[in-house]
Amino acid sequence: MQILRTVAELRQWSREGRRGGKTIGLVPTMGALHAGHASLIRAAKASCGLVAVSVFVNPTQFGPNEDYAVYPRTLDADCALAEAHGANVVFAPAVEELYPTGAATFVEVEGLSNRMDGASRPGHFRGVATVVAKLLIAAEPDRAFFGQKDAAQVAVLRRMVADLRLAAEIVVCPIVREGDGLALSSRNVYLSAEERMQALTLCRVILATETRVAGGERRAGTLIAAVIETFATEPEICVDYVELVNWATLEPVETAIPGSLFAVAAWVGATRLIDNTIIG
**Measured distance CA(68)–CA(62) in Å, rounded:** 6
**Which of 177, 193, 187, 162 lies closest to 267 in space, CA to CA?**
187
Identity at 62, one-letter amino acid code: F
Binding mask 156-195 for ligand AMP (x = CB under 6 A): -----------------x-xx------xxxx---------
Q: Is 37 a catalytic residue?
A: yes
Among 149, 159, 212, 272, binds ligand AMP (CB under 6 A): 149
Closest CB to ligand AMP among residues 97, 117: 117
The amino acid present at 50, given as its one-letter code, is L
Which residue, 28 or 220, has its beta carbon nearer to ligand AMP?
28
Contact between 107 and 85 (Cβ < 8 Å): no
Helices (H), 85-188: 95-98, 117-120, 124-139, 151-163
Which lies closer to ligand AMP via its Cβ, residue 127 or residue 212? 127
Among 36, 118, 127, 141, binds ligand AMP (CB under 6 A): 36
**Could you tell me which residues come within 8 angstroms of residue 241 by beta carbon, excluding any fewer than 6 positions away?**
116, 119, 120, 263, 264, 265
Q: Between 18 and 123, name the residue whose CB sits nearer to ligand AMP.
A: 123
Binding flag, residue 90, ligand AMP (CB under 6 A): no
User: By the criterion CB under 6 A, which residues form the site for ligand AMP?
Assistant: 29-30, 36-37, 39-40, 146-147, 149-150, 173, 175-176, 183-186
